[in-house]
Amino acid sequence: MIVDGHNDLVLQTWRGKPPKHMDLSAAADADFAGGFFAIYVPSPDPPGEPPPIPYALPLPARIPTDEAARVANELYDTLQSLPVSFATSADDFEPGRVTAIVHLEGADPLAPDLSDLQDWYDRGLRSIGLVWSRANAFAEGVPFCFPASPDTGPGLTDAGRELVRACNRLGILVDLSHLNEAGFWDVAETSEAPLVATHSNAHALSPATRNLTDEQLDAIGRSGGMVGVNFAVSFLREDGWNNADTPLEEIVRHVDYISNRIGIDHVGFGSDFDGALVSEHLGGIAGLPKLVGALRDAGYDDAAVDKITHGNWLRIFRETWR
């Protein structure tokens, strides 16, 4: 069974586009049981594909809360229209069906006073990424730069710290992907839950701002958290090149690095399907068995593969959700 840390099928469907990677009709044969389905309010000025190396793209402008909430509600309705069930417990994931975690990728739609957070929770929200790179009332994310450090700006606002505390109280996972380094350390200081980056990689192997430094990885390991390895080729490769002809071994390389540094219990998949360019040797859901085969070829036994493909995520849900 495979549980995945991130996909953007909802956005693709809302835009009226066919999926690039998330063909749910292939899920059963690929043993794909679901994962985090992002509700992401797109910027009117998205950064687009990474330009030639080196690059440094500016952060998109903030989106007003009312506008973000309007679009997020439409995206939520789109998610409801998909042939998936919603997850509120680790036990909801079963082979043979696709189960979706309602995930806000960017807290932009939330009122700064959190007056609507309970309503979102009641609708099934179980994961929040504080930012999608652009700033909002709660935090600031990393601009897309390579090579560069994730230490790119200020940390959480007071509202951001209160959002983290509220997520802890309700049992909502706080996602650190896209957050800048100062914000990361503020969450680490504030949160009582395991630290989780749903779709990020090792900065030591690919020095993109979106990736995690060794010190950040160590903090995630100490907290009992985990990292979902992002399949985006520009965040996998040492050269940062956005090249689809990238071998699956690049994904395995990041799994190796993270598991060797902080332990096999702290790494999983965070594909970014339908939100990034991934290896043509993987494709989409249907190619996941090839990736599992690559892990086995690299020496991972059955117990390790089970942890990477689903066991670690299910543990995090049991330890985080109420």
Domain boundary assignment for the chain: 2-320
How confident is the model over 239-279, as pLDDT tens digits? 999 999 999 999 999 999 999 999 999 999 999 999 999 99
pLDDT surpasses 90 at 222: yes
DSSP helix/strand/coil, 24: helix
Q: Average pLDDT, whole number, for the chain?
A: 97
By percentage, how much of the chain surpasses pLDDT 70? Answer: 98
| pLDDT (mean) for 102-113 | 98
- Could you count the other beta carbons within 10 Å of the beta carbon of residue 26? 17
pTM score above 0.95: yes
Q: Which residue, 165, 92, 164, is CA-closest to 129?
A: 164
Q: What is the pLDDT of residue 47?
A: 67
- Segments in 157-265 forming alpha helices (H): 158-170, 181-190, 214-222, 233-236, 249-262
Taking the CA atoms of residue 25, residue 254, residue 36 and residue 150 in that order, the dihedral angle to the nearest 10 degrees is -140
Contact 307, 262 (CB under 8 A): no
Token pair 């793209």 is found at 57
C-alpha distances in Å from residue 43, one per residue of 111, 132, 217, 219: 18, 10, 29, 31
| Element counts in the chain: helices (H) and strands (E) | 12, 11
If residue 11 lies in a helix (H) or strand (E), which one and from where to where? helix 9-14
* Residue 75 reports pLDDT greater than 90: yes
Q: Which CATH superfamily is domain 2-320 in?
A: Metal-dependent hydrolases (3.20.20.140)
**Which pair of tokens denotes residue 262?**
């902080």
Mean pLDDT score, 177-194: 98
